[in-house]
Structure 1
C-alpha cells in the first residue's frame, strides 16, 4: 500500500509542478491573440453600423482607420505585442459631446460583440476593466 501511495504522490507532484511552471496566458492570448481581437472589433463595427443612436458618432470616421486603430489599441492594452501610438482618447473624442447614456450603449455594443466573438465573461470583464479608466476621457468632450 505504501508503494502505491508513493507512486501516486510522485505522479501528482510531477503533474502539479508541470502546471506551476507553465506561464499564465496574457489577456491578449486569452482573447485569441490578433485573430481574436480582429473578430471582436469586426463584430463591434457590425453592431455599431446597425445602431441608430451610435452610428451618427461615426459618420465622419473612416471604418478602416477606426478598425486598425482599435485593433492596435486592444492589442496594446491586453498585453499583446502591439504599441498604440494613435491619438489620445481625449483628442479623438473632443467635440463629440458623448453623453453618459450613449457611452453606456457603446459599452453594451462592445459586450455584445465580445459575446458574438465567443469571449468568456471572465475575459470580457478583464478587458472592460482595462478600458474603464478611459471613460472620463470620452464623455462630454
Structure 2
C-alpha cells in the first residue's frame, strides 16, 4: 500500500511540474533578440564561407543584410520587431537566384540553427514560415 501511495505521489508531482511549466514561445525558443542576432551572425559566416553561394554576396552591404535578417527572423518567430526592408521580390529581382542557390542558403540556415542549439521543431516552424518566400526569391 505504501509503494502504491509513493508511486501516486511521484506521478502527481510530475504532472504538477509539467502543468506549471509554461511553454516557450517560438521567439523564446530562438533566444529572443540576442539569440536571433547570434543566429544571423552564424548564418552570415556560413554563407560567406560557402563556395556554392558566397560569390553572390561579394557586393552586398553585410551590415544592412544582417539588420534586415534579424528583423525578418524576429517577425517570423513572433517577436516584437518590425521588418523595414524591401519585399523579397524587390530585393531579389535582379539577382538571378537559382534553386540551387536557395537550397544552399537554407542548408546554411539549418546548420546555423543546429549550431545555436535551436530545437528542431522550432527550426521547422520557422522554415514553414519562410517557405512561401521561395517564389519571390528564386528566378523563374
> What range is the shorter-chain TM-score in?
0.7 to 0.9
Per-residue deviation, 1:56 = 1.7
Partner of 1:30: 29
Per-residue deviation, 1:133 = 1.1
Equivalences for 1:22-101 in 2 at 5 Å?
24-101=23-100
Matched residue pairs, number? 140
Determine the C-alpha separation between the residues in 2 that align with 1:12 and 1:50. 50
Q: What RMSD, in angstroms, separates the aligned Cα atoms of the two structures?
A: 2.2
String of CA shifts for 1:53-102, please: whole Å, max 9, x gaps: 21122122111110011001100110000011211000110011111111
Q: Which moved more, 1:40-49 or 1:51-60?
A: 51-60
Per-residue deviation, 1:17 = 6.7
Per-residue deviation, 1:42 = 0.6
Partner of 1:133: 132
Structure 1, unmatched stretches of 5+, are: none
Q: Normalising to structure 2: TM-score of the pair?
A: 0.84
Determine the C-alpha separation between the residues in 2 that align with 1:117 and 1:124. 11
Determine the C-alpha separation between the residues in 1 that align with 2:12 and 2:72. 41
Structure 2, unmatched stretches of 5+, are: none
Q: Normalising to structure 1: TM-score of the pair?
A: 0.84
Determine the C-alpha separation between the residues in 1 that align with 2:15 and 2:85. 43
